[in-house]
Structure 1
């Protein structure tokens, strides 16, 4: 009881800044207060700063927060450093509704350590999907004009070459219209994921089985050059994208001046929200295009956000109760209805969710072809190298080959120091 008094019946949560998270955690905090009387004080931080504070700066070891929304990229390092509380005993004694079968296996693996310890419950799922203006693709005049120009029907592109054709067709700067949009701000998030999607969809890999960098070879050169060319050669992505992170690009798409993008599925939700979007009811989703040739494949990223408990929390039992209640079917659905992406199968299959956000019918399909960044504690350092590499190339500070070779050398040193190779 002394601990309760000292903390004034209050939990402190820290999350990435995103309007969907602010809305969903608001609903879930109010629900939790109605159940327990405990308030949940919420803090939202820019993604780079969130990592610098909670993981790199080890603020998770202090008593500053009781709940931490952590992206799976950071989990191997956070687990190695002892920054999060293992939840196994809580899960055994008092599991969330439907645990664990109510979640896809793809939503349970990345927070589970090799010894079976579980360090959080999935709160917000990507995945990255292809998002486009369905009204433009369905317009008969646009279809006729495209066919006359290219000799094949205007359809959602299957390959990256088709993507470029469609993007160039819809790029009309004089009308303020562009064919495509990327999130190219160097925050180590989408700018890196854009490169990984380009690499993987062409059949490439980051490293070999014996931990030698592979991403700088010919497939990686093709992948990075493609991103550079979208902005500087084809001119189908506005240069403002160099200053846009995933949130800004998603919000920009919702204003109606972009024909296509690949981005987190949650931004298809933003585009269906009347108070945030000018294109409600005009949005389609599908799988991300594949590379040309036999190695080409439709790929997305399996990266998600988990709600965990920082090791320094002085309210761990009550923090777990919040994690448990927030993982319920009703509260997971609330995450989706507020503009995030719930992680339970029941939410993905919910008729009301699908009616409001039609892309949910594609989520399980997308999850059949996903890959994840290297699940090692050193990945955040590698991610920073990749972020700098992409940013240097996109801003034409050096050639694609120079950027890739320098990054491959740095990644090799990181892996060598950690005795991977």
Structure 2
């Protein structure tokens, strides 16, 4: 056997299928035999394997799926390869012009470029158009209207939850939802220097809303604290949820040929709170090269291959979301997923989490706070103050 490229993948069937197809196409054009070893992992296991387990540093993985929030931690630890020299040596012909600037900026810091964008998916409101129309409901534009609509649409006898949350403590949707709720109420979860600001009126309203909604059995299923973003998204795609605030990619996945909700889905901007406005959140997955890889040239060749228009289209065709503007505007893609062209709009209204190497630790603290709020009756200001003290202690 020739060279084996080992890739750590965020466990999600569309990612696994897309990488397999893209690698098969890549291998067919190589002059030597190459093989793929893909290792899918859930979020917590992926982070642990790559960071605490040294998978990026010791050569266990040549390429890894990294959330943009993990990049600063990986770079600070010397765990990933700077792609700037590789771009200079073997450029991608239409990079970066063929991508939205919002997909090429979060990786550019500390004098380097640390990951090629692979899967996009800003947060938005995803809903069953048929269910809202049947109930005579308008698309909710405020969080209060969202909660009220979820109660109307909740139909346990019919196997449909009004909405769903993804509050499994993996440093992902719970943390992001908390930040979104602060922003959409006119607040800021981080100040201009990137310092967390988890106290104040908007933060209290954010945590109160999440606590109230998560406990409302007339709006959400009982297992919201056990669902991660993928489980929540798949439940919607199975026809078991009327609407949700989640990643755009799950709307696209619901348009798969065998989906029971195909043709019944639409997307809209996220609701807003009092005194705020609708926003989205720009967090995406990149392909990064491990600092310890012994096959960096081959890894870069594969990253370049995945960045081509045809391979990016495969990412979307398999149920994830490609990152090139050509994919978003593709007539065939929009025929299947008729709202793909709205991705550009979502990006223009998207916020992002600050570039900090301790974001994973901060998100874990927020997960603890949300878990305590849902599972107990401690006052909201007390929980927020405790979380604020813990995040400040990280930098002490």
For Structure 1 versus Structure 2, the TM-score category normalised by the shorter chain is: over 0.9
2:50 to 51, 54, 67: 54
Distance 1:186 1:94 in 2: 40
Q: Deviations over 1:291-348 (max 9, x none)?
A: 123xx11111111111111000001001100000011000011001101111111111
Give the aligned partner of residue 74 of structure 1: 70
Which stretch has the larger CA shift, 178-187 or 227-236?
227-236
Cα 1:96/1:209, change in 2 over 3 Å: closer
How large is the Cα RMSD of the aligned pairs?
1.6
- Preserved CA contact (<8 Å) 1:301 1:372: yes
- Preserved CA contact (<8 Å) 2:165 2:214: no
Distance 1:83 1:360 in 2: 34
Distance 2:311 2:195 in 1: 43
2:341 to 357, 361, 364: 361
Cα 1:213/1:16, change in 2 over 3 Å: closer
Q: Deviations over 1:328-374 (max 9, x none)?
A: 00001100110111111111111111111123121111111111122
Distance 1:88 1:157 in 2: 44
TM-score by length of 1: 0.90
Q: Deviations over 1:164-216 (max 9, x none)?
A: 22112112333333211111111111111111111111111123346664222
SS of equivalent to 1:208: coil
1:282 paired with 2:276, answer no
1:198 paired with 2:181, answer yes
SS of equivalent to 2:140: coil
Which stretch has the larger CA shift, 390-399 or 262-271?
390-399
Cα 1:310/1:213, change in 2 over 3 Å: closer
- Preserved CA contact (<8 Å) 1:124 1:342: yes
Give the aligned partner of residue 388 of structure 2: 408
Give 1:398 shift.
3.4
- Preserved CA contact (<8 Å) 2:198 2:387: no
Give the aligned partner of residue 149 of structure 1: none
Cα 1:213/1:62, change in 2 over 3 Å: closer
Which stretch has the larger CA shift, 46-55 or 208-217?
208-217
1:380 to 326, 337, 360: 360
Rg larger in 1 or in 2? 1
Distance 2:158 2:54 in 1: 48
1:12-411 paired onto structure 2 within 5 Å: 12-36=6-30, 37-115=33-111, 117-139=112-134, 142-143=135-136, 154-209=137-192, 213-233=196-216, 235-275=218-258, 277-293=259-275, 296-396=276-376, 398-411=378-391
Distance 1:211 1:349 in 2: 34
Gap regions ≥5 residues in structure 1: 144-153
SS of equivalent to 1:78: helix
TM-score by length of 2: 0.95
SS of equivalent to 1:239: coil
SS of equivalent to 1:74: helix
Distance 2:214 2:65 in 1: 33
Distance 1:63 1:402 in 2: 44
In the comparison of the two structures, how many residue pairs are matched?
394
- Preserved CA contact (<8 Å) 1:286 1:362: no
Distance 2:230 2:310 in 1: 25
Distance 1:381 1:231 in 2: 23
Give 1:397 shift.
6.1
- Preserved CA contact (<8 Å) 1:32 1:39: no
Q: Deviations over 1:199-240 (max 9, x none)?
A: 111111123346664222121111011111113247311122
- Preserved CA contact (<8 Å) 1:161 1:292: no
Give 1:380 shift.
1.6
- Preserved CA contact (<8 Å) 1:131 1:268: yes
Give 1:58 shift.
2.6
Distance 1:286 1:393 in 2: 29
- Preserved CA contact (<8 Å) 1:78 1:84: yes
Distance 1:56 1:292 in 2: 41
- Preserved CA contact (<8 Å) 1:268 1:359: no
